Amino acid sequence: MAAEAENPDDDVPVTGKVREKLVESKQAWAREGRLLTGNAYPLGGDPARDRLPPGQTLVKDWPVLDLGVQPDVSPDRWRLRVEGLVQAPLRLTLDEFMALPQTELTNDIHCVTQWSRYDNRWQGVRARDLVEMARPKEEARFVSFTSYDGYTTNVPLEDFTQDEVLLVHSWEGQPLTRQHGGPVRVVIPHLYFWKSPKWVTRIELLRDDRPGFWEVRGYHNYGDPWREERYG
Mean pLDDT of the chain: 92
Indicate the Cα dihedral angle 119, 68, 186, 137, nearest 10°. Answer: -160
The SS3 assignment for 159 reads helix
Residue 27 banded pLDDT, cuts 50, 70, 90:
very high
By residue range, what is the domain housing residue 133? 13-42+49-227
pLDDT in tens, 47-58: 677 899 999 999
Max Cα separation, the chain?
Answer: 49
User: Is 232 inside a domain boundary?
Assistant: no
User: Is 5 inside a domain boundary?
Assistant: no
pLDDT in tens, 125-140: 999 999 999 999 999 9
Query: 225 vs 19, 119, 134, 211, 222, CA distance in Å?
Result: 25, 17, 30, 18, 10
What pTM was estimated for this model as a whole?
A: 0.92
Measure the CA–CA gap between 214 and 222, rounded to whole angstroms: 11
Pairing between β-strand 166-171 and β-strand 79-84 as defined by DSSP bridges: unpaired
Give the total number of structural domains in the chain. Answer: 1
